């Protein structure tokens, strides 16, 4: 089960390009925390880039192994800027919106349901793509 909580290093996606947010990333990707038993079972280790796969899509993330989580639960904070530039993943940067469904909880409240979803974590075995989330679009000259 993936829990997509609010990040500690930025205000949702604001300042994702900032030094404090980037200092928390693993190999330039949003950190995915998971229990040591789950990491062993998935064949991944602390510091690896992993592919997180759900029914809607996939993303790459940097693994942080932590016994602060219960087995069977992974945590990936919201707000990493979406980067669809990689082959083999919907997002190269670790945006959990690539995994979660965008529907309201009811017609009355319309609260967000995007914080929980079922995922599988696996080793990423392809060439590691660069993160291009902060690159300006082609044809645009930065000021």
- The CATH code of the domain that includes 25 is 2.40.40.20
Residue 17 included in any domain: yes
pLDDT band at 10 (very low <50, low <70, confident <90, very high): confident
Distance CA 90, CA 106 (A): 27
Residue 6 included in any domain: yes
Residue 136 included in any domain: no
- Report the pLDDT value the prediction gives residue 100, as an integer from 0 to 100: 87
Structure tokens at 107: 């017609």
- Report the pLDDT value the prediction gives residue 74, as an integer from 0 to 100: 97
Average pLDDT over residues 108-126: 84
Helix or strand holding residue 23 (H, E): helix 19-23
Q: Report whether pLDDT(120) > 70.
A: yes
User: Do 2 and 76 contact (CB within 8 A), yes or no?
Assistant: yes
The pTM (predicted TM-score) of the whole model is: 0.88
Q: Residue 31: CB partners within 8 Å, gap ≥ 6?
A: 24, 25, 61, 62, 63, 64, 76, 77, 94
Distance CA 15, CA 9 (A): 9
- Report the pLDDT value the prediction gives residue 9, as an integer from 0 to 100: 83
Q: Which domain holds residue 99?
A: 2-123
Residue 132 included in any domain: no
Residue 129 included in any domain: no
Average pLDDT over residues 72-93: 93
Residue 141 included in any domain: no
- Report the pLDDT value the prediction gives residue 38, as an integer from 0 to 100: 98
Q: Report whether pLDDT(42) > 80.
A: yes
pLDDT band at 114 (very low <50, low <70, confident <90, very high): low
Average pLDDT over residues 87-92: 92
Residue 103 included in any domain: yes
For residue 51, give the 3-state DSSP assignment: strand
Q: Report whether pLDDT(136) > 90.
A: no
For 2, 67, 69, 139, the CA distances from 64, given in Å and listed in that order, are 14, 10, 11, 37
Residue 109 included in any domain: yes
Q: What is the pLDDT of residues 45-64, one digit of tens each?
A: 999 999 999 999 999 999 99
Count of the separate structural domains present in the chain: 1
For residue 92, give the 3-state DSSP assignment: coil
Distance CA 53, CA 99 (A): 7
- Report the pLDDT value the prediction gives residue 111, as an integer from 0 to 100: 66
């Amino acid at each position: 089960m993936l829990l997509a909580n609010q990040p500690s290093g930025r205000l949702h996606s604001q300042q994702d390009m900032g030094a404090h947010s980037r200092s928390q990333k693993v190999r330039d990707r949003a950190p995915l925390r998971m229990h040591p038993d789950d990491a062993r079972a998935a064949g991944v280790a602390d510091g690896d880039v992993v592919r997180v796969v759900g029914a809607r899509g996939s993303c790459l993330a940097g693994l942080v192994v932590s016994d602060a989580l219960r087995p069977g639960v992974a945590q990936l904070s919201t707000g990493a800027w979406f980067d669809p530039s990689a082959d083999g993943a919907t997002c190269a940067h670790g945006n959990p919106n690539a995994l979660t469904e965008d529907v309201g909880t009811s017609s009355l409240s319309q609260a967000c349901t995007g914080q929980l979803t079922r995922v599988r974590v696996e080793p990423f075995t392809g060439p590691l793509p660069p993160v291009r989330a902060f690159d300006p679009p082609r044809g645009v000259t930065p000021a």
